[in-house]
Amino acid sequence: MPTVTQVILLSSLSIILIWLVASHHSTPTRTPTPHRNPNTPPTTSGKPAFRQRLIAVGDLHGDIENAQKVLGMAKIIDSNSNWIGGTDILVQTGDIVDRGTYAFDIYRMMQRLRGQADGQGGRVVSVLGNHEVMNAIGDWRIWKSKWWVNEGQKEKEGQGETEECAYWLGLPTSSRRYGRMYMLGLDFLLRPQGVYVFKEYVTQDDIKHTGGTQQRMRDLSIDGWLGQEWLANYSVTALVPLGPHPSAPTFSFTHGSLRPSYTDLLPYPDQINSLGHSLLVKALTPPLAPPYPPNPYSGLPKGHTQAEAALYDAGGPLWWRGLAETQNEKTVCEWADQLRTKLGVRRVIGGHTPDFEKIVDRCNASIIIIDTGISSAYGGVLSALEIVYTLTPIDITKDRDRNHRQDPLMADHTDEMYAEGLIKGHRYLEREVVTAIYAKKTKLLALEEREITL
Ligand SMILES: *[C@@H]1O[C@H](CO)[C@@H](O)[C@H](O)[C@H]1NC(C)=O
Ligand SMILES: *[C@@H]1O[C@H](CO)[C@@H](O)[C@H](O)[C@H]1NC(C)=O
């Protein structure tokens, strides 16, 4: 029989042991080292026959310096803002404009990068945000929001994006965010019964920088360089495949959240994009709506259809925040499954709702929200999303021998190629690595590997 002292001694020892083992074990999981550099092709099964890299960046809101930093960080541009992404795909999910001064410079940069990427076999994909469309329809608003803090309960009141402000103020770190907003020189009024916020979308500096209200409107119009660029090279949503073969994974990029029950979701993406295009043509055809303020808000352009109005309303792809803000994980993951099935995509990626600390992945990264408040108007972290997709051949020679044995009539001339090295009917290891890139670190969000037959 062990004595009491022995029992105490033994149990303390086991506790120490368990603690040692546990702390030892938890160290490597805290820092996922194996995927520090996702650019390294898999070494497990030889050299990939195909590799496609995609970089996506969220809301940039008039901050050209941070936009350049983010693209530099993602190795898409060099220090002279020239494309070094080679065959990479760059997706920007909208809201380049407003809140900062240099939006038009970012549009110019994107236009230049698009041309350079084209020349190197890469691609720039541009998505329209609610702020692009707001500028198009003359909604250059200043919004006011007001909170009542009442016996511990918050009540929202006022106009504009009150929920956006409530989001800031409602978080546990609200005082810090509040302080951050204050330091950014936003106009606050503190009253015993609540907080009032006044904020400009199109800033006076932006208007000055773009040559005044009239010049800005001309640039935005169907005859101006930016209006033409939006109409030619921007869309409300983008369906992006990562390879030339029919089974290549595809991704959906939209500024806001796609709602599974949104009436015009299908056929995807053409239905949404043709509505977006026709709405934009109506908005940008002179005479443009005189900007509000100082003029009254004129709403959607004359002659807009019901479907165009639904595209632009709170439940449409430019404004809805459901995939980002809905708390219930089960609901969101059901939506994710519905969207993946309906749209035929692997992941649904959006911006619009900032998390100032990180890229948010939900439901096994089938939903990824990449707005981290990159613009200094917010002061969030600099971030970019990276997807690296590779196909590595599995025992091609053995497969050939087997094919030839089983069916001697199946000769080499049946080998149809999707791209150099991608042969129809052959087996490959498909690998998809999804990584969040920040200024000083990267975080692995998803790694999927499977064998596929092309
Ligand atoms: C759209 O992008 C292409 C390059 O991909 C460019 O040649 C063209 O000028 C752009 N269109 C407009 C109207 O800016
Ligand atoms: C996420 O992946 C795990 C493992 O593959 C699976 O068990 C789980 O059901 C997935 N969850 C969702 C919400 O898709």
**pLDDT tens profile 325-368:** 898 999 999 999 999 999 999 999 999 998 888 999 999 999 99
What pLDDT is attached to residue 56? 98
Distance between CA atoms of residues 169 and 167, nearest Å: 6
What pLDDT is attached to residue 24? 40
Distance 364 CA to ligand 2 centre (A): 6
Helix H or strand E segment including 132: helix 130-136
Distance 365 CA to ligand 2 centre (A): 10
Q: Closest Cα to residue 356, out of 176, 126, 118, 152?
A: 176
What pLDDT is attached to residue 121? 96
Pocket test for ligand 1, best of 90, 116, 229, 231 (most atoms within 8 A of CB): 229
- Using 50, 70 and 90 to split pLDDT, how confident is the model at 317? very high
- Using 50, 70 and 90 to split pLDDT, how confident is the model at 414? low
What pLDDT is attached to residue 46? 79
What pLDDT is attached to residue 141? 78
Q: Is the CB of 447 under 6 A from ligand 2?
A: no
Looking at residue 139, the DSSP 8-state letter turns out to be B
Distance between CA atoms of residues 112 and 81, nearest Å: 9
**Residue located nearest, by CA, to atom 6 of ligand 1:** 115
**Residue located nearest, by CA, to atom 13 of ligand 2:** 363
Distance between CA atoms of residues 172 and 263, nearest Å: 36
- The per-residue pLDDT for range 61-117, each reduced to its tens digit, is 999 999 999 999 999 999 999 999 999 999 999 999 998 899 999 999 999 999 999
Q: Is the CB of 399 under 6 A from ligand 1?
A: no
Minimum-distance ligand to the CA of 446?
A: 2
Q: Is the pLDDT of residue 39 over 60?
A: no
Q: Is the pLDDT of residue 166 over 60?
A: no
Structure tokens at 161: 């994006």
Q: Is the CB of 222 under 6 A from ligand 1?
A: no
Question: 3-state DSSP: the chain helix, strand, coil percent, rounded to 5?
Answer: 35, 25, 40
Q: Is the CB of 396 under 6 A from ligand 2?
A: no
Burial 206-218 (b: 16+ CB within 10 A, else e): bbebbeeeeebbb
Radius of gyration of the chain (CA): 26
Minimum-distance ligand to the CA of 447?
A: 2
Q: What type of residue sits at position 158?
A: G
**Residue located nearest, by CA, to atom 3 of ligand 1:** 115
In CATH terms, is domain 50-139+215-390 a member of 3.40.920.10? no
Look up the pTM and report it. 0.80
Minimum-distance ligand to the CA of 110?
A: 1
Cβ atoms of 71 and 107 within 8 Å: the answer is no
**Residue located nearest, by CA, to atom 2 of ligand 1:** 233
- Using 50, 70 and 90 to split pLDDT, how confident is the model at 180? very low
**Non-local CB neighbours of 287 within 8 Å, separated by 6+ positions:** none
Cβ atoms of 159 and 143 within 8 Å: the answer is yes
Q: How far apart are the first and last CA of the chain?
A: 68
Average pLDDT along the chain: 81
SS3 for 209-223, per residue?
Answer: HCCCHHHHHHHHCCC
Lowest-pLDDT range, 143-152, 269-278, 356-365, 379-388?
A: 143-152
Q: Is the pLDDT of residue 273 over 70?
A: yes
Q: Is the CB of 232 under 6 A from ligand 1?
A: yes
Burial 254-293 (b: 16+ CB within 10 A, else e): bbbbbbbebebbeebbebbbebbbbbbebbbeeebbebbe
Atom of ligand 2 nearest to the CA of 337: 14
Atom of ligand 2 nearest to the CA of 333: 13
Within 238-314, residue ranges assigned H as helices are 270-284, 306-312
What pLDDT is attached to residue 389? 97
- Using 50, 70 and 90 to split pLDDT, how confident is the model at 203? confident
Lowest-pLDDT range, 237-246, 391-400, 440-449?
A: 391-400
Cβ atoms of 398 and 427 within 8 Å: the answer is no
- Using 50, 70 and 90 to split pLDDT, how confident is the model at 44? very low
Q: Is the pLDDT of residue 206 over 80?
A: yes
Distance 363 CA to ligand 2 centre (A): 7
Q: Is the CB of 326 under 6 A from ligand 1?
A: no
- The per-residue pLDDT for range 130-147, each reduced to its tens digit, is 999 999 999 987 655 444
User: C-alpha distances in angstroms, 283 versus 77, 270, 377, 410?
Assistant: 33, 20, 27, 58
**Residue located nearest, by CA, to atom 4 of ligand 1:** 115
What pLDDT is attached to residue 421? 80
Count of residues for the chain?
454
Distance 25 CA to ligand 2 centre (A): 23
Lowest-pLDDT range, 46-55, 153-162, 174-183, 296-305?
A: 174-183
Helix H or strand E segment including 373: none
Q: Helices H, strands E: what count in the chain?
A: 14, 18
Distance 224 CA to ligand 1 centre (A): 13
Break the chain into its structural domains and give their ranges.
Answer: 50-139+215-390, 142-200
CA angle 345, 73, 388 (to 5 degrees): 30
What pLDDT is attached to residue 170? 45
State percent of the chain over pLDDT 90: 62
Q: Is the CB of 114 under 6 A from ligand 1?
A: yes
Pocket test for ligand 1, best of 114, 120, 125, 235 (most atoms within 8 A of CB): 114
Which position has the token pair 């002292």? 5
Q: Is the CB of 223 under 6 A from ligand 1?
A: no
- The per-residue pLDDT for range 3-24, each reduced to its tens digit, is 444 544 444 444 433 343 333 4
- Using 50, 70 and 90 to split pLDDT, how confident is the model at 198? low
- Using 50, 70 and 90 to split pLDDT, how confident is the model at 163? very low
Q: Is the pLDDT of residue 188 over 80?
A: no
Q: Is the pLDDT of residue 247 over 50?
A: yes
**Residue located nearest, by CA, to atom 14 of ligand 1:** 229
Q: Is the pLDDT of residue 36 over 60?
A: no
